[in-house]
């Protein structure tokens, strides 16, 4: 409920100087990402899924974590602070 994962396919990307197939996962969340220890654990799980599902090596995947505050997300005509 408090995690948002965005996946966009078919984008032209260059990673580490190579245009070979690659992926970037952007994860934004309230209270779930933010510390190095949290993101290290999340990263391992995401890499397991992405490498298996996409057939890419881990060196061809980048994950970007964005911690959010409840007041930064609007929902149901208010912000998450009040939900």
Q: Is residue 30 part of a domain?
A: yes
Q: Where are the beta strands (DSSP E) in the chain?
A: 3-6, 23-30, 61-68, 74-75, 78-79
- Is residue 9 one of the residues assigned to a domain? no
User: CA–CA separation, 79 vs 9, rounded Å?
Assistant: 29
Kindly give the confidence (pLDDT) of every residue in the chain, 83 residues in length, as a single tens digit, with 9 standing for 90 and above. Answer: 666 677 788 889 999 999 999 999 988 888 888 899 999 999 999 999 999 999 999 999 999 999 999 999 999 999 999 98
Kindly report the CATH number assigned to the domain that includes residue 49: 3.30.429.10
Tell me whether residue 36 is in a domain.
Answer: yes
The answer to pTM > 0.85 is no
Assess if residue 11 is contained within a domain.
no
Residue 75 within any structural domain of the chain: yes
Residue 3 lies in a domain: no
Taking a C-beta distance cutoff of 8 angstroms, is the pair 32, 70 a contact? Answer: no
By residue range, what is the domain housing residue 58?
23-80
Q: What domain count does the chain have?
A: 1
């Amino acid at each position: 409920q408090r995690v948002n994962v965005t996946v966009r396919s078919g984008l032209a990307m260059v990673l580490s100087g190579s245009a070979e197939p690659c992926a970037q996962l952007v994860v934004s969340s309230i209270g779930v990402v933010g510390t190095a220890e949290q993101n290290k654990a999340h990263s391992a799980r995401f890499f397991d899924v992405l490498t298996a599902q996409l057939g890419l090596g881990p060196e061809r995947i980048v994950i970007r974590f964005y911690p959010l505050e409840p007041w930064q997300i609007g929902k149901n005509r208010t912000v998450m602070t009040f939900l």
